[in-house]
């Protein structure tokens, strides 16, 4: 029995080694990366500052009530990494249901940090559901921005609205459009477009079926991503900011998409201060040369940030 279990695990590990081998020269400390895929992704949560005035009291409550062991992520305010918990999911906690904490992977905060939302700004989250980034925008602006949260699927919007109500957020308006067809004419100051992607930054040993679905069950992701990013650009006012993000490693879904925008529109890549370790964006991949400013975009690898892998590009509309 134990031999069969070990053999199965080795086969799964070999599957991943084969899948990610195309990125062997791209991913830093590649062997360490492969080893990290054998471990579960850690849980993170953020304290909801819209409801919680005394975070220390809440943290003590979580420790005493559930035996929750966690550590503060000092570089990302109000985020905590779960070290151990009797509950397999933070979503089971009463404090989660009350909206005092919100569970989200640490790196999901990065596109919002790059966006740098401010109170009273008009902001669009083009692919918003299930609403983690929308909620974080509201928290960082003390619920004083005007946020339009859009998603093409009504069932996903239902989940988003439930999250917003749980967190006590009131500054968000929801819409249901295909992102590529979102109506023009509203001069947004900032747009965040966290696009559907192959999700390679989330993969773990044992997810072979999901990988095959992502690879063969979704049509031409780079084409969809390019359409979403161009529409995001067209929706922001001149001088406005767009943040493009994915949770994948694939340069065809990352740098190649941003490079496409630079060739189609008058845009500029901006640098931004990341609180987490990153690698610079690529300016070349498999014989394709990208705009040199792509080095200002940022790659976050799962084994270096101990969270979901991400890619983030901050873009300014020039005219």
Q: How many CB atoms lie within 10 A of CB 209?
A: 8
Task: Enumerate domains of the chain plus CATH numbers.
Answer: 44-103 (3.30.70.1170), 106-317 (3.40.50.150)
Share of the chain above pLDDT 70, in %: 92
Which stretch of 87-96, 165-174, 188-197 has the lowest confidence by average pLDDT? 87-96
pLDDT tens digits for 63-77? 999 999 999 999 999
Q: Is the pLDDT of residue 5 over 50?
A: no
Q: Which of 211, 263, 245 is nearest to 125 (CA)?
A: 245
Q: Which residues of 31-56 are buried (b: 16+ CB within 10 A; e: fewer)?
A: eebbebbeeebebbbbbbebbbeebe
pLDDT at 181 over 80: yes
C-alpha pair distances (Å), 304 with each of 45, 99, 101, 123, 260: 19, 30, 25, 30, 28
DSSP H or E run through 269: strand 267-270
CB atoms within 10 A of CB 10: 10
Q: Rounded to an integer, what distance in angstroms lies between the CA atom of residue 11 and that of residue 5? A: 10
Q: How many residues does the chain have?
A: 319
Ramachandran angles phi, psi of 33, nearest 5°: -60, -45
pLDDT band at 4 (very low <50, low <70, confident <90, very high): very low
pLDDT confidence bin for 304, thresholds 50/70/90: very high
Instruction: Please give the pLDDT value at position 222.
Output: 96
Paired tokens of 66: 């559930």
pLDDT in tens, 207-225: 776 666 555 555 689 999 9
Q: Is 247 a catalytic residue?
A: yes
CB-based burial label for 103 (10 Å; 0-12, 13-18, 19+): middle
For the stretch 129-176, pLDDT in tens is 999 999 999 999 999 999 999 999 999 999 999 999 999 999 999 999
Which candidate, 199, 164, 162, 194, places its Cα nearest to that of 179?
194
- What percent of the chain has a predicted confidence (pLDDT) above 90? 87
Of residues 285 and 86, more confidence is placed in 285
* Single pTM value for the model: 0.94
Catalytically annotated residue among 127, 171, 197, 247: 247
Q: Are 301 and 281 in contact (CB under 8 A)?
A: no
Give the position of tokens 């990366």: 33
């Amino acid at each position: 029995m134990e031999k069969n279990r070990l053999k199965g695990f080795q086969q799964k590990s070999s599957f991943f080694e084969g899948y990610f081998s195309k990125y062997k020269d791209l991913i830093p400390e590649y062997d360490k990366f492969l080893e990290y895929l054998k471990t579960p992704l850690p849980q993170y949560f953020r304290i909801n500052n819209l409801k919680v005035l005394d975070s220390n009291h809440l943290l003590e409550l979580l420790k005493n009530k559930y035996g929750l062991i966690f550590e503060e992520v000092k570089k990302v305010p109000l985020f905590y990494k779960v070290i151990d918990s009797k509950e397999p999911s933070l979503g089971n906690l009463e404090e989660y249901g009350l909206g005092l904490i919100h569970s989200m992977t640490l790196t999901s905060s990065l596109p919002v940090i790059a966006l740098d939302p401010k109170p009273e700004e008009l902001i669009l989250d083009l692919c918003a559901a299930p609403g983690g980034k929308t909620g974080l925008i509201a928290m960082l602006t003390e619920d004083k921005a005007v946020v339009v949260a859009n998603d093409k699927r009504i069932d996903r919007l239902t989940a988003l609205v439930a999250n917003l109500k749980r967190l006590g957020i009131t500054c968000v308006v929801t819409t249901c459009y295909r992102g590529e067809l979102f109506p023009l004419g509203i001069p947004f100051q900032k747009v965040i477009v966290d696009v559907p992607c192959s999700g390679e930054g989330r993969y773990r040993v044992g997810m072979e079926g999901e990988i095959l679905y992502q690879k063969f069950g979704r049509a031409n992701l780079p084409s969809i991503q390019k359409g979403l990013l161009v529409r995001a650009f067209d929706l922001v006012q001149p001088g406005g900011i767009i943040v493009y993000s994915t949770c994948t490693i694939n340069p065809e879904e990352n740098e190649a998409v941003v490079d496409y925008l630079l060739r189609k529109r008058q845009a500029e890549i901006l640098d931004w201060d990341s609180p987490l370790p990153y690698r610079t964006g690529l300016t070349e991949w498999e014989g394709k040369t990208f705009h040199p400013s792509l080095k200002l975009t940022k790659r976050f690898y799962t084994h270096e940030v101990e969270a979901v892998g991400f890619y983030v590009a901050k873009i300014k509309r020039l005219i």
